[in-house]
Structure 1
Amino acid sequence: MSLQLQAGSVTFENVTKNYGAVTAIDNVSFSIEPGHLVTLLGPSGCGKTTTLRMIAGLEHASSGRILIGGKDVTSLPATDRDVSMVFQSYALFPHMTVGENVAYGLNVGGLKASEATERAEEGLALVGLAGYASRLPSELSGGQQQRVAVARALVLEPEVLLLDEPLSNLDAKLRRKVREEIRDLQQNLGLTAVYVTHDQEEALAVSDRIIVMNRSVIAQEGTPRELYEAPASAFIADFIGDANLVTGEVTQSNQKTAKVRIESVEYELPNRGLGNGSTQIAIRPDSILLEPASANQAGIKGSVTHSTYLGNQIHYSVDSPLGELFVVDYRIENAIKAGSDISITFATKGMSLIAS
């Protein structure tokens, strides 16, 4: 026997979810292609978990349509949707063995015990836990328990795998390892997966596409690189990977590029549909270049107010005419002491005009 995994698409068409007078999801539309991992990302209360629960059928839309694999499932209960969910808490039964936990949904669904056991063992092998079926969840590490939860979801052969903050209970080092395992598994099996997290780094690491939500609507969607390098708003620039938002002036522009003056220094950047005049620029912390001040240097004058050593990088807080800047510098051998006067320039990679 081998698992038969058929990836399905997910489509939201003008979906709204109301709880009384409160709108949790407001006229949201998106499409997820089969075999892709798409992350719903955003701050607490933005609507991402409600969106995931509506895909699962645990919440129902107040209006609009939800389709899975091209089939309208808007009014179907969770039991009639071809999806499986991996919960933040793992939700493993402590009194059952690992194998019994993985086979639980199959047994409830009426599969023969011998077939359920065989499929459970195959699911455990997929997540690297072959031979663990007889153990109890308490005998496993947190990362292993999470893999059991993934195996339990996979053996149901869903069209769509849903993951709700699956790594939040793990420490930082283990999170990196398990997220790589989940991503490798998704790609190797060609799964459609919808992943919810509030962790920007996690979303950048695992996703084919990211849907960033804020205040019940989609703020921007795109590939990790598109969101990081071309944020559509100040919110996206600041939420995805940190950004310093400064004011500059577009002095000359065409359809492709814009000349932007920041204090006394001018840069050429990709245009975002802006005309001449005042604008906001998002500058990544590692795109700010600091040098000890000297009389002949070009650049913006400033001073270091705080310097924090973090092993492979130094974080600086810098007072400047542009306001306080957060700087990440990997040149740890040339650390600048707090209180030092400095000259500030920018690497154009990591700078982007904010279109709205």
Structure 2
Amino acid sequence: MTAITAGSVVFEHVSKRFAGFNALPDLSLTVEPGTLVTLLGPSGCGKTTTLRLLAGLEHPTSGRILIGGKDVTQLPANERDVAMVFQSYALFPHMSALDNIMYGLQSSGLPKREVQDRAREGLKLVGLENQGQRLPSELSGGQQQRIAVARALVLEPQVLLLDEPLSNLDERLRRRVRTDIRDLQQRLGFTAVYVTHDQEEALAVSDKIIVMKEGDIAQQGAPETLYNAPNSVFIADFMGEANILPCEVEQIEGSEALVRLGNQRYRVRGNGLRTGAAQLSVRPQFITLHDGATGALRGEVTHSTWLGDHIEYEVATELGSLFIVDAQMEQQRPLSASVAIDFKPQGLALITG
């Protein structure tokens, strides 16, 4: 397989309407060559419509789509230099793994020997070089999905599209296959657009995450940015668990703010915020419980769940109920226990919207 030419993706003011329903009002986005960008969001947010528009399975109502600098807005799917990996694998059950990978190449006009060589290289890329003669029914779900990835990659597309590729796998296999996909993307340097509703999956594989809401981009950026500096309650709550608490911004100092939360003050991220009442995103694993007489807040345990490697608590406070993930496993606090609560600054982020 020759080197893959990684293409860019650009949406310029793209809209899409379905029978009176405006799925995408006005979408503009850019995917840089050689990066893996994830479209993330709840059901109905527009991420699958965006992927189908990019694949040529739908055409926009207005706007332009460019792949590798070429306007493909009106081109059919078979004339776009993209390949797609589906959540259902879409393998032919009567064909061997090798034949499934060869299938797309056979219509490309390549010599038969080159088709076979590239298909075998595809098997090797995904670590299944010894499984080529097996039928899909003889492979695990994770192996079938790796065959589907290989089938797409041997076409050497400018952009690889992945539509919920791990949704049919159990949790352990999802972790393995997402690692395989990310390793392949970084090793080969291809451009990938990845659709999922799973926040952990997006955090694990992405160079950039685009979170969508009602057909618009709610926030985009590196995984660390979206998790640690959400710009809204929606993003804070969607990108993992978050407690949203009222606070008082007392002072702004460059990229930090001095914030009073309960009886304590903390320095947290606060770019461009104003002093006064605000909201704070508090990650549950950065909340500490102790038996002391003082803390930022006092509370009472209303629920606790032992989960092997951590304990989850719900604690009633004057600012509302807190969800807390406690790694301290020596003793589980009983219901109605009185606790003092403090916060680690790295788990705090001010919210602007």
The equivalent position to 1:313 in structure 2, one of 306, 310, 317, is 310
Q: Structure 2 stretches of 5 or more lacking a match?
A: none
What's 2:121 paired with?
Answer: 122
Query: How high is the sequence identity, in percent, across the aligned residues?
Result: 58
What pairs up with 1:190-205 in 2 under 5 angstroms? 190-205=189-204
Opposite residue 125 of structure 1, the aligned amino acid is K
What's 1:301 paired with?
Answer: 298
Q: Any conservation in 2 of the 1:47–1:214 contact (CA below 8 Å)?
A: yes
Opposite residue 303 of structure 1, the aligned amino acid is E
CA deviation string 1:134-164 (max 9, x = no partner): 1100000000000000010011110000000
Q: 3-state SS of the aligned residue for 2:174?
A: helix
What's 1:10 paired with?
Answer: 9
What's 2:216 paired with?
Answer: 217
Q: Any conservation in 1 of the 2:261–2:296 contact (CA below 8 Å)?
A: no
Q: Any conservation in 2 of the 1:97–1:133 contact (CA below 8 Å)?
A: yes
Q: Any conservation in 1 of the 2:7–2:68 contact (CA below 8 Å)?
A: yes
What's 2:54 paired with?
Answer: 55
Opposite residue 78 of structure 2, the aligned amino acid is T
Q: Any conservation in 2 of the 1:246–1:280 contact (CA below 8 Å)?
A: yes
Once residues 269 and 139 of structure 1 are traced to their aligned partners in structure 2, the CA distance between those partners, rounded to angstroms, is 53
Larger displacement relative to structure 2 (113-122 or 240-249): 113-122
The alpha-carbon deviation at position 331 of structure 1 amounts to 1.1
Once residues 135 and 3 of structure 1 are traced to their aligned partners in structure 2, the CA distance between those partners, rounded to angstroms, is 26
The alpha-carbon deviation at position 105 of structure 1 amounts to 0.8
Q: Any conservation in 2 of the 1:297–1:343 contact (CA below 8 Å)?
A: yes
Q: Structure 1 stretches of 5 or more lacking a match?
A: none
What's 2:82 paired with?
Answer: 83
Q: Any conservation in 2 of the 1:272–1:354 contact (CA below 8 Å)?
A: no
Larger displacement relative to structure 2 (253-262 or 301-310): 253-262
The alpha-carbon deviation at position 253 of structure 1 amounts to 2.5
Once residues 282 and 305 of structure 2 are traced to their aligned partners in structure 1, the CA distance between those partners, rounded to angstroms, is 20
The alpha-carbon deviation at position 326 of structure 1 amounts to 0.5
Opposite residue 323 of structure 1, the aligned amino acid is G
CA deviation string 1:31-65 (max 9, x = no partner): 11111000000000000011111111111111111
The alpha-carbon deviation at position 333 of structure 1 amounts to 1.5
The alpha-carbon deviation at position 212 of structure 1 amounts to 0.4
The alpha-carbon deviation at position 273 of structure 1 amounts to 1.8
The alpha-carbon deviation at position 259 of structure 1 amounts to 1.9
Q: Any conservation in 2 of the 1:273–1:355 contact (CA below 8 Å)?
A: no
CA deviation string 1:275-314 (max 9, x = no partner): 122111000001111112x4x4233110111111111111
Q: Any conservation in 2 of the 1:272–1:355 contact (CA below 8 Å)?
A: no
Q: 3-state SS of the aligned residue for 2:231?
A: coil
What is the RMSD of the two structures over their aligned residues, measured on CA atoms? 1.2
Q: 3-state SS of the aligned residue for 1:312?
A: coil
Give every structure 1 segment of 4 or more consecutive aligned residues whose post-TM-superposition deviation is greater than 4 Å.
Answer: none
What's 1:135 paired with?
Answer: 134
Q: 3-state SS of the aligned residue for 2:345?
A: coil
Q: 3-state SS of the aligned residue for 1:204?
A: helix
Opposite residue 307 of structure 2, the aligned amino acid is L
What's 2:72 paired with?
Answer: 73
* Superposition TM-score, scaled by structure 2 size: 0.97
